[in-house]
Amino acid sequence: MNEKNNSYDLLIIGSGPAGFTAAIYGARGGLKTALIGGAAPGGQLLQTTEIENFPGFQEPINGADLMTRMLNQAKRLGAAILQEEAVKASLKISPFAVTGSSGTIYTARAIIAATGARARWLGLDSEKKFIGKGVSGCATCDGFFYRGKEVCVVGGGDTAVEDALFLTKFASRVYLVHRRDQLRANFRLQEKIKANPKIEIIYDCVPVEMLGDSKLKTVKIKNVKTGAMRELNLTGVFIAIGHTPETAVFEGQLKLDEEGYISTDEHKNTSVPGVFAAGDVMDRNYKQAIVAAGAGCMAAMEAGKYLEAVNSN
């Protein structure tokens, strides 16, 4: 590709619902649009099984299917989908430049940051030791390996409860270890988990150590109210304790809030004119696919207006 071919009106970084919706609106709005989507475009929803709260799907839809539909829709409307990571962004001067993992430099006068968020770990040394040997951050990816085994999920939010329910398809018993005496997950999920006989919810407890040899065998948990210790003999632990925004590529260039999310105004403008942000990378409150999609739409519409103003000067 020559340099001219790598220059776009709008460059979107990230391939979740925010990124794809921005690509759909950008391309449909007549902008030469490209989306840098990583090696496996789709974002966090690739790790979700059934989605039943995305409007328009009467029956639950699989996360990967939903993302494939968004990707194909963006392509059909003319957006280029670039299957590589964005490794560097230069946002000090316009046109902005983004370097892909292939070394290719892409330029654009408008950028939408839609890089989402990544799953958090507990931070225990013993957790690190067993990642991939019993400790996992993705129930939908690894649940299959625990057929007939006992496992536990750590966390009390929607993800943890969904993971625990999903794991009952394979595991003989699932513990949900939560640090408080009340789940954070939505009411419907709470009803489902409490009604599932394969799941035991352990409240007020946190894992303090993971033990085993080449593979995980035991998780020590501590009651945060009483200090009592308990050992769970199991082979799989799924960590589902929330997410951290993916902002590494923008470090030092865009203003972030105190929790590391990209700061935006109500029009999705970041601290750099011409750079917009949408989805979980800027949303500390909702983190819903439909909200991310809406934000992607807003960012693309604002990018279109911005480019029109720049081009008419």
Query: What residues line the site for ligand NAP (CB under 6 A)?
Result: 53, 122, 154-160, 162, 179-180, 184, 206, 240-243, 287
Considering beta carbons, is residue 274 or 296 the nearer one to ligand NAP? 296
Please identify which of the residues 141, 181, 257, 265 carries the catalytic annotation: 141
Residues 198, 280: Cα–Cα separation, whole Å: 32
Q: How far is the CB of 260 from ligand NAP (least distance, A)?
A: 14
Contacts of 62 (CB under 8 A, 6+ apart): 48, 49, 50, 51
Considering beta carbons, is residue 89 or 201 the nearer one to ligand NAP? 201
Q: How far is the CB of 243 from ligand NAP (least distance, A)?
A: 6
Residue 25 token pair = 């609106």
297: annotated active-site residue: no
142: annotated active-site residue: yes
Smallest CA-to-CA distance from 210 within 157, 161, 154, 141 is with 154
Considering beta carbons, is residue 15 or 159 the nearer one to ligand NAP? 159
Residues 12, 18: Cα–Cα separation, whole Å: 9
Q: How far is the CB of 312 from ligand NAP (least distance, A)?
A: 40
Three-state DSSP class for residue 88? strand
Contacts of 274 (CB under 8 A, 6+ apart): 94, 96, 109, 110, 111, 303, 306, 310
Considering beta carbons, is residue 77 or 121 the nearer one to ligand NAP? 121
Considering beta carbons, is residue 150 or 204 the nearer one to ligand NAP? 204
Please identify which of the residues 65, 125, 138, 158 carries the catalytic annotation: 138
Q: How far is the CB of 197 from ligand NAP (least distance, A)?
A: 22
Give the burial class of 175: count Cβ atoms within 10 A of its Cβ; 0-12 exposed, 13-18 middle, 19 or more buried: buried
Q: How far is the CB of 182 from ligand NAP (least distance, A)?
A: 8
Residue 287 token pair = 């983190």
Please identify which of the residues 142, 158, 163, 280 carries the catalytic annotation: 142
Residues 164, 151: Cα–Cα separation, whole Å: 9
> What value, to the nearest 5°, has the Cα angle with vertex 245 and ends 244 and 248?
110
Name the residues annotated as catalytic: 138, 141-142
